[in-house]
Structure 1
């Protein structure tokens, strides 16, 4: 059984989780905020007490911030020796940023690790196939959506 301590040795699994969270953000708009005073950003003035949403999903798929942003590449979170890079790029924000970052982030990462490793362990003897339902494309290049296409996962014994 995997343990939380194993995360320090399973670098590619950790990179896979980081890339999955970057590539398909669970909460692409994050949490709403309000301005506490009149604020100017670049040429825009935002009045006091204005609701603000940051589209984190766009930032984490922005070509200006990420090389080959629309490609799923866990390797971007590995250094030259294959070690997981724990320092985050400024555009990596699946759990928000600053003082309002999700307090459950560490628990979520730990649980994602345990679930992923256990899933991989249990499916070693199977080929994993993604099957479309009703002809819906399972292409990972589909645009961000709160309603992803339906598909089934088929485990076929090797």
Structure 2
């Protein structure tokens, strides 16, 4: 059975989870905020007490911040030595930003890791193929070749 300590050895699995959260954000609109005072943002004025939502989904898939943003590429979270990159790019915000970042982020990632590894262990006799979604081509991932033994 996988444990939380295994995350430090399963770099590709962690990169796969990060890329999944970037590519298909669970809550792309985040949580609503409210302005406390009249605020000027670029050429826009946002009045006091106005509800504001950040569309995190577009930031996580913005071509300006991500090379080949419409491609599912877990390797973008792997460094040249094959290690999972723990310092996240500023545009990686699937759990929000600032003081209102999701309090359950660490628990969610830990649970995603445990569930994914257990699922992969129970399906090791199969090839897992990602199909295209909404016309966006995805890479073929052969889990059996990339999964380290846990």
Given the alignment of the two structures, is residue 140 of structure 1 paired with residue 119 of structure 2, yes or no? no
Q: CA deviation at 1:141?
A: 4.2
Hey, which of these two has a bigger chunk of helix by percent? Answer: 2
Q: CA deviation at 1:125?
A: 1.1
Unaligned runs of 5+ in 1: 131-137, 144-158
Deviations 1:99-124 (A, max 9, x none): 10111100000000001111111101
Separation of aligned partners in 2, 1:26 and 1:56: 10
Separation of aligned partners in 2, 1:36 and 1:81: 46
Separation of aligned partners in 1, 2:64 and 2:31: 23
**1:129 to 1:18, Cα distance in 2 relative to 1, 3 A:** closer
**1:141 to 1:65, Cα distance in 2 relative to 1, 3 A:** farther
Q: CA deviation at 1:142?
A: 4.7
Separation of aligned partners in 2, 1:129 and 1:56: 27
Q: Name the structure 1 match of 2:101.
A: 101
| Corresponding residue pairs, total | 136
Runs of 4+ displaced beyond 4 Å: none
Q: Is the 8 A contact 1:70 1:141 kept in 2?
A: no
Higher relative contact order (CA 8 A, sep 6+): 2
Separation of aligned partners in 1, 2:23 and 2:109: 15
TM-score (norm 2): 0.86
Separation of aligned partners in 1, 2:75 and 2:47: 42
